[in-house]
Amino acid sequence: FLFFVCCRALIFPLLIREGKPTPFFTFVLALLFCVFNGYLQGRSLTTYATYPPGWLGDSRFITGFLGFLIGMAINIHSDHILRNLRKPGETGYKIPRGGMFEYVSGANFFGEILEWFGFALACCTIESLAFALCTLFILSSRARQHHK
């Protein structure tokens, strides 16, 4: 979870060559959401969640953790494809090819949705499920827009 947040918040923005600037208000809202969600997830896992002995060997945890890792790999690879669609100075819309883009038009969104449902399964908390569902609703509407 922490690795993904670091990648998304620190590494990914540094890798973007150029693009449309993000409005400051949008940035502040995204920052507040991430801080609140991170607190909620961390608090849930460290204070309220209880797991039986051997939980790390349980099929729910293993399946969820693998889903999280596969989703993260899809997301990172899809972001790489998207970042390299245009050559420096080039503009215009391009259709991404390769990776999961061969199967879904919003591969980056698909990867992130898979990632957070894997996290929810591995954690088995209402907070992680709520975040996975929010991710599904928000990113599926963005994916639909991008597909059109």
* Predicted pLDDT at 41: 92
CB 68 within 8 A of CB 118: yes
**Burial grade of 107 (CB within 10 A; 0-12, 13-18, 19 or more):** buried
Tell me, yes or no, whether 45 lies in a domain.
no
Q: What is the pLDDT of residues 18-55, one digit of tens each?
A: 666 778 888 788 888 888 888 899 999 999 999 999 99
Q: What is the pLDDT of residues 59-112, one digit of tens each?
A: 999 999 999 999 999 999 998 898 888 777 777 778 899 999 999 989 999 999
Tell me, yes or no, whether 51 lies in a domain.
no
* Predicted pLDDT at 35: 84
Comparing CA positions, the residue from 102, 137, 97 lying closest to residue 116 is 137
Say if residue 1's pLDDT is above 60.
no
Say if residue 121's pLDDT is above 90.
yes
Tell me, yes or no, whether 4 lies in a domain.
no
Q: How many domains does the chain have?
A: 1
* Residue listed under structure tokens 């609140």: 36
The C-alpha atoms of residue 95 and residue 25 are separated, in whole angstroms, by: 29
